[in-house]
Amino acid sequence: MGSWFFGLFVAGLVISWGNFVVGYAENQVNFITWEDMKVRLQKQSLALRSERSQNRVIVVDQSGNGDSVTVQGAVDMVSERNSERVKIYILPGIYREKVFVPYTKPLISFIGDENRTSETIISWHDKASDRDKYGSELGTCRSASLTVESDFFCATGITIEFCSV
């Protein structure tokens, strides 16, 4: 009798929550599309900007002609709990930095030049055996060059490298 009641209870929950989505509005697209991994750019003065205002594009350029000189700086520019896709266009170069995309910043795309994938590199040198400021080993998870906790993240046209000597 108890298992029958429990089964009925679970079925009721599933039916009542069928159209309930946690954390996202019903009109929001909750998947990654091919368009999310493309950026159409045009030159405006020295900086590159998106040709369509509804798509936010942040340009990363080591020479200082973009919105940020670091990939992490571009991620930091994305607002917390953003509800629209933000495309981070990374110009060719070696970005020697540890990049973290927190769970509070969903819908981010990292986009590099697909014809120059080997020239757009995010690289860091932590090892699992390295120690943090408290003396604890970093371990495998905390030694990554790129850590992504957010939903609906995608990347194309870039190389992510672990470079330990």
Structure tokens at 154: 């995608």
pLDDT of residue 162: 87
Both tokens of 151, joined, read 């939903």
Mean pLDDT by 10 residues, the chain (165 residues): 52 47 52 75 47 72 97 98 95 97 97 92 93 94 94 95 79
CA nearest 130: which of 97, 101, 99, 164?
Answer: 164
Q: Are strands 93-96 and 47-50 parallel, antiparallel or unpaired?
A: unpaired
Instruction: Give the pLDDT confidence score for residue 2 in this predicted structure.
Output: 55
CA angle 14, 19, 25 (to 5 degrees): 135
Domains of the chain by residue range? 48-162
For residue 50, the one-letter residue type is S
Report the C-alpha gap between 44 and 91 in whole angstroms.
Answer: 16
pLDDT at residue 48, as a whole number: 45
In sequence order, what E strands does 18-153 have?
Answer: 41-44, 47-50, 56-60, 86-90, 93-96, 99-101, 108-111, 120-124, 146-148
Residues 6 or more apart in contact with residue 122 via CB below 8 angstroms: 71, 90, 95, 97, 99, 145, 146, 158, 159, 160, 161
Which of 65, 64, 67, 132 shows the shortest CA–CA distance to 98?
132
